[in-house]
């Protein structure tokens, strides 16, 4: 299969992925629909690699990068689930004030891609905090399908309150310059 052919995946495949990613279609149905494209000459391997996330290839900034410091922090969320947890990443050796960015994950939980986004922001000079909506259920389970199911089972109002509490928590960071921005993916 040539690269040119790879660039001509039917729009329907992307539409099906969108439905799957947003919980409107289960994985079995999604894969079955993709399988129907095999008659048109598309392999499942090519379609899967083009449509499904590969977190191993997504990492741009390592957890061990000497320019950043990453850790997990818990915070109070009295109107949410009581306690929240998030991934805090900041530039190493902070000596001055920096802007803050709250990173809101997709409907799958705090997966490796979202953690990498937080690390990229810290590498660029921001203090990034990525709260994990799935913390009350034990955190991101290691795969997106289970994460999506877990988040779907939760009270959305409490998740929203947890994210608000995360913003309040990070605004108190001692190296904050008082400016808070947010970036959200899918659910965020």
CA distance 130 to 142: 16
Query: At 184, which helix (H) or strand (E)?
Result: strand 176-184
Residue 2 confidence (pLDDT): 39
The C-alpha atoms of residue 65 and residue 114 are separated, in whole angstroms, by: 16
Q: Are residues 123 and 34 in the same domain?
A: no
Cβ–Cβ < 8 Å for 19, 30? yes
What does DSSP assign to residue 70?
E
The CATH number covering residue 92 comes to: 3.40.50.1820
pLDDT at 31: 83
**Res 35: pLDDT:** 82
Q: Report the pLDDT value the prediction gives residue 6, as an integer from 0 to 100.
A: 47
**Cβ neighbours of residue 50 closer than 8 Å, sequence gap 6 or more:** 6, 9, 13
Whole-model pTM: value is: 0.77
Instruction: Say whether both 41 and 93 belong to one domain.
Output: no
Site of tokens 């994210």: 163
Gap between the Cα atoms of 113 and 185, Å rounded: 11
Residue 45 sits in the same domain as residue 72? no
Q: Which domain holds residue 170?
A: 68-184
Q: Which of 65, 163, 179 is nearest to 126 (CA)?
A: 179
Secondary element (H or E) of residue 113: helix 112-123
**Structure confidence at residue 17 (pLDDT):** 80
Tens digit of pLDDT at every position of the chain (188 positions): 333 344 578 888 888 888 887 778 888 888 888 888 876 777 777 777 777 666 767 788 988 999 999 999 999 999 999 999 999 999 998 889 999 999 999 888 999 999 999 999 999 999 999 999 999 999 999 888 898 899 999 999 999 999 999 999 999 999 999 999 999 987 75
- 110 and 30 part of one domain: no
Whether residue 95 is found in the same domain as residue 169: yes
Instruction: Look at residue 139 and tell me if it is in a domain.
Output: yes
Report the distance separating Cα 21 and Cα 53, nearest Å.
10
- Whether 61 maps to a domain, the answer reads no
* Same domain flag for 47 and 125: no
Q: Are residues 114 and 150 in the same domain?
A: yes
One domain, residues 85 and 132:
yes
Same domain, 86 and 161: yes
Q: How many domains does the chain have?
A: 2
pLDDT at 188: 57
């Amino acid at each position: 299969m040539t690269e040119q052919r790879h660039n001509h995946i039917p729009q329907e495949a992307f539409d099906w992925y969108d439905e799957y990613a947003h919980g409107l279609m289960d994985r079995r149905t999604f894969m079955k629909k993709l399988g129907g494209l095999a008659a048109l000459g598309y392999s499942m391997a090519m379609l899967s690699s083009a449509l499904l996330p590969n977190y191993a290839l997504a990492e741009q900034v390592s957890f061990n990068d000497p320019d950043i410091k990453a850790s997990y922090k818990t915070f109070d969320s009295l109107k949410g689930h009581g306690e929240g947890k998030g991934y805090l990443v900041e530039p190493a050796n902070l000596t001055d004030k920096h802007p803050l960015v709250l990173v809101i994950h997709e409907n799958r939980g705090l997966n490796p891609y979202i953690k990498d986004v937080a690390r990229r922001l810290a590498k660029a000079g921001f203090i990034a905090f990525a709260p994990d909506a799935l913390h009350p259920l034990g955190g991101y389970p290691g795969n997106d399908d289970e994460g999506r199911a877990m988040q779907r089972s939760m009270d959305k109002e409490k998740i929203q309150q947890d994210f608000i509490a995360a913003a309040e928590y990070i605004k108190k960071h001692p190296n904050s310059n008082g400016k808070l921005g947010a970036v959200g993916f899918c659910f965020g």
